[in-house]
């Protein structure tokens, strides 16, 4: 409940930021134009992001005859989550990781690397796949698409302000009551704030998916043990891929340290494990 409320508040804050910068630069019409452009930009990714992500990692759809144990685990978890059975893909990489994709539970897929199948025992695999089905159950692809749409609109408006400032458009805009220095400050800081809010939403959804993974698998310690293994091994066996997809995976395959943690799509792994262990004691 806390993470759900947090997500709603962050989306609300992102919306307020969009309204402020939109009205500052072009009133309601300018804000609506930018929002429309952002929707168009994200429409394609929302409907086709699953195919793009799966093809990017050369994921191959598998059958139950090929991976009967994996199908048995996913089917049981899907029943616990009360969602349709997702399609199952295998990623031919030794780096241990997994992700879920698809715009809704009826069009969902889970992908697991070969490395994860080798590394994790059955209980740990249940925890990981339960986490991924949590993303599907909570429609996190939709939530991230909404956040990306609003953040994208803010960035479009900020670009408009910067281009206008470069060519003197702000100083010539006599019909505008906005202070040009305020507009420039918004153009600089609003995209950064939007990015931080968008990443905070992503981290909140990870916590919620961890909780769901613990619930669907029946034991929070299954996922805690899996996260510990995945984190340790992923540092030594790098994933071959694009860092822009880091938000997809259960653990960040592209490590960040220090202040760059502010720009991470995932919460600290130690905190996630500690939360799961506290959950097991409650």
Angle between helices 180-217 and 122-137 in degrees, nearest 10: 130
Core vs surface per residue 58-87: b (16+ CB within 10 A) or e: ebeeeeeeebeebbebbebbbebbebeebb
- Rounded to whole angstroms, the Cα distance separating 209 from 215 reads 10
**First vs last Cα of the chain: how many Å apart?**
16
- Rounded to whole angstroms, the Cα distance separating 13 from 117 reads 40
Instruction: Tell me if residue 132 is catalytic.
Output: yes
Of 89, 90, 88, 71, nearest in space to 79 by CA: 71
Burial (Cβ within 10 Å: 0-12, 13-18, ≥19) of residue 14 = buried
Which strands make up the sheet holding 87-91, listed edge to edge?
60-61, 87-91, 109-113, 98-101
- As a residue count, the chain comes to 282
Query: Which position among 124, 132, 206, 208 bears the catalytic label?
Result: 132
What is the Cα gyration radius of the chain? 21
- Rounded to whole angstroms, the Cα distance separating 76 from 36 reads 41
Annotated catalytic residues are 132
């Amino acid at each position: 409940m806390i993470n759900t409320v947090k997500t709603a508040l962050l989306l609300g804050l992102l919306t307020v930021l969009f309204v402020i910068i939109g009205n500052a630069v072009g009133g309601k019409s300018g804000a609506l134009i930018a929002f429309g452009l952002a929707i168009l930009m994200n429409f394609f990714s929302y409907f086709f992001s699953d195919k793009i992500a799966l093809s990017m990692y050369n994921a191959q759809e598998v059958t139950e005859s090929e991976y009967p144990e994996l199908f048995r685990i996913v089917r049981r978890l899907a029943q616990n989550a009360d969602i349709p059975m997702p399609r199952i893909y295998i990623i031919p990489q030794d780096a241990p990781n997994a992700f879920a994709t698809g715009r809704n539970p009826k069009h969902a897929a889970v992908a697991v690397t070969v490395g994860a199948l080798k590394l994790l025992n059955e209980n740990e695999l249940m925890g990981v796949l339960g986490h991924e089905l949590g993303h599907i159950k909570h429609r996190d692809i939709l939530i991230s698409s909404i956040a990306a749409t609003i953040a994208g609109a803010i960035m479009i408006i900020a670009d408009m302000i910067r281009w206008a400032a470069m060519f003197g458009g702000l100083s010539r805009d006599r019909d505008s009551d906005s202070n040009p220095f305020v507009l420039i400050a918004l153009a600089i800081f609003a995209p950064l704030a939007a990015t931080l809010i968008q990443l905070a939403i992503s981290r909140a959804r990870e916590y919620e998916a961890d909780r769901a993974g613990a619930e669907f698998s029946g034991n929070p310690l299954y996922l805690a043990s899996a996260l510990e293994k995945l984190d340790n091994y992923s540092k030594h066996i790098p994933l071959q891929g694009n860092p822009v997809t880091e938000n997809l995976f259960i653990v960040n395959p592209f490590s960040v340290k220090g202040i760059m943690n502010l720009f991470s799509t995932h919460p600290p792994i130690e905190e996630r494990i500690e939360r799961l262990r506290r959950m097991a004691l409650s």
